[in-house]
Every structure is written in C-alpha cells, then in structure tokens.
Amino acid sequence: MRIVSLACSNTEIVAALGCAHLLVGVDDHSDYPRAALAGLPRVGPDLEIDVEAVAALRPDLVLASLTVPGHETVVEGIEAAGLPILTLAPERLDEVAPSVMAVGHALGAHDPSVEARAEALARRLDAAFPRGGRRDASGPSAPGNRPSVLVQWWPKPVIAPGVRSWVQGMIDLAGGRNALEGEDRLSRPLDDEEVAALAPDVIVMSWCGVEPARYRPEVIYRNPAFRSIPAVRRGQVHRIPEAWMGRPGPRLLDGLAALRRAIGAATPVC
C-alpha cells in the first residue's frame, strides 16, 4: 500500500501504527518521526500541495486533514484528480481516537494487525481523553479554583484557541480554564488590550511552525501592555512544543502531561 500524507498529525498517526514504511510522500511540514521520513518526497506546504506531485507518487490512499484551516481547497484538488482520499476533521479531544481508528481501518484492509494496533492506541487515547472531559480534582486545579490559561498559537498578533478546539479539552483535563472558554470557535486573533483584559494566570507558548528552542518568552515579559497580567507578574509563561498541542494525534498525550505541569505550577488569582 502506498500512502501520501498531507498533514503532520496524519503522518504521526501512520507512524504510531507502525506503518511509516508505507509512506511514499508527505507534506513539507511533517517532521516526526524524523528517521522514518528521511528521504521521502515532499509534495508542498499544507495549503499549497502540488496535486500533480501527489498523483505522480501513485498513492493508494491520500490522507488529508481539515484541522488545517483552508485545507478544504487542497482536498477538492485531490478529489478532482480522482485520487483516493481519507479526510480527517477532529475538533474535540474525544474525536482524536476515532480519527486513529479511521486510519487504522483504512490501512488494516491489507494488514489486520494494523487495525489491532489502532484499537490499542485508541483505547489509550480514550482513557486519557474521556468523553466530556474530567478535570483534575485536587491541588491548585481543584474545581472553583482553576487557573485561567491562554495558549498562544502565534505571538503577533496573538492567536489563541477557543472552545471548538481540542485544546479546550486538554486545558479542562489538566485542571485549568480556557481564557477563551466563552468563544464558540476554533481560534481567533487577539490584540494586546484583549490579552491584558483576559488576565490569564498561565500563558502557554505553542507557536506554530517554530522550533521550541526559538520560542521567546521575553516577547511576552517585555510587552508593556502585559505587565498587569497575572501570568507575567508571577512568571507563569511556559513553553510547550506545538507538535504536542497543535497536532491531533498520539503526541497530544505528551502535551497533556506538559500542560498539567504548567497549570500545576500556577497560583491562581482568587
């Protein structure tokens, strides 16, 4: 079976199922696991996929993801080319395990053991991400005493996830409260005044497309508009790789663990 993956999260799911050897091409942003992807043809950035390059790889299956804003146009191009495609679109945290199962079912048509591995991984995800969420019930994250958490997908302008993002569920499970919990959207940009007004107790830097070593907390700490923010005053600006927070796949488990540590370190404003 020949697979082309057009999104990082799908590439990581394929690898987690022990099927990285089936990949014959990936998007430009897929970077994990590095050794398994070394030397694979790249078919373009996620929003500018070269459909002809994909077709030239003669895939038995193309994996796409609507979690990438604007990816609908790419999907339309793949479909117009008559290529077999599976498009995933998880929004909530409890939709990640079904996405894993969908990939496992598609790949398992040629190898039943793949579907068994998908079921095992889905059980792990379901256990960690129960339907409806489950807040930590002790310590500084106890109900009624939950720190407000602002996750930054981008620093300028600040882009933060709303309640329709799986990050809402991660914050909830980690014992926090999403600073944008009242906004029924995937994400939105915020100006400095809006960020200051939200007054988050914790700020998580998870910048898209940037290596964690290049995250710059000083961008936040030195911004005059942010001086009154509790997270800034108390040194609660944390770095969590975007690969652990922004890709709806197996490494969200790492993101949840890191988020719990960050929230646990915060002292909320009472």
pLDDT per position as a tens digit, 60-107 = 999 999 988 889 999 999 999 999 999 999 999 999 999 999 999 999
List, for residues 221-240, the tens digit of each pLDDT value: 999 999 999 999 999 999 99
User: Last residue of some domain: 128, 155, 189?
Assistant: 128
**Is 48 in the same domain as 124?**
yes
134 inside domain: no
Q: Give the pair of three-digit tokens for residue 78.
A: 């793949």
pLDDT, position 140: 43
Q: Taking the mean position of all CA atoms in its chain, how far away is CA 106?
A: 22
pLDDT, position 46: 86
pLDDT, position 141: 45
**Is 72 in the same domain as 168?**
no
Give the residue among 46, 85, 82, 32 at the shortest CA–CA distance from 62.
85
Q: Give the pair of three-digit tokens for residue 266.
A: 């915060």
120 inside domain: yes
133 inside domain: no
User: Last residue of some domain: 128, 159, 176?
Assistant: 128
**Is 201 in the same domain as 242?**
yes
The proportion of the chain whose per-residue pLDDT surpasses 70, expressed as a percent, equals 93
**Is 120 in the same domain as 146?**
no
148 inside domain: yes
Which residues on adjacent β-strands are paired with residue 64? 87
**Is 257 in the same domain as 172?**
yes
Q: What is the mean pLDDT of residues 132-156?
A: 70
**Is 150 in the same domain as 107?**
no
pLDDT, position 137: 39
Indicate the pTM of the whole model: 0.90
**Is 202 in the same domain as 241?**
yes
**Is 204 in the same domain as 170?**
yes
List, for residues 210-220, the tens digit of each pLDDT value: 889 999 999 99
**Is 113 in the same domain as 146?**
no
Q: How many CA atoms lie within 13 A of 45 on its CB side?
A: 5
Contacting residues for 111 by C-beta, under 8 A, at least 6 apart? none
User: Last residue of some domain: 99, 128, 157?
Assistant: 128
270 inside domain: no
Whether the per-residue pLDDT at 153 is higher than 80: the answer is: yes
**Is 157 in the same domain as 106?**
no
184 inside domain: yes
Domain containing residue 240: CATH number: 3.40.50.1980
Indicate the number of domains in the chain: 2
152 inside domain: yes
Q: Mean pLDDT for the chain?
A: 92
**Is 149 in the same domain as 50?**
no
List, for residues 158-217, the tens digit of each pLDDT value: 999 999 899 999 999 999 999 999 888 889 999 999 999 999 999 999 999 888 999 999
**38: exposed, middle or buried (Cβ count in 10 Å: 0-12, 13-18, 19+):** exposed
14 inside domain: yes
pLDDT, position 185: 87
pLDDT band at 26 (very low <50, low <70, confident <90, very high): very high
Q: What is the mean pLDDT of residues 119-129?
A: 95
Whether the per-residue pLDDT at 144 is higher than 50: the answer is: yes
pLDDT, position 262: 96
What separation, in Å, do the N-terminal and C-terminal C-alpha atoms of the chain show? 56
**Is 115 in the same domain as 147?**
no
The residue segments making up the domain with residue 191 are 139-264
pLDDT band at 124 (very low <50, low <70, confident <90, very high): very high
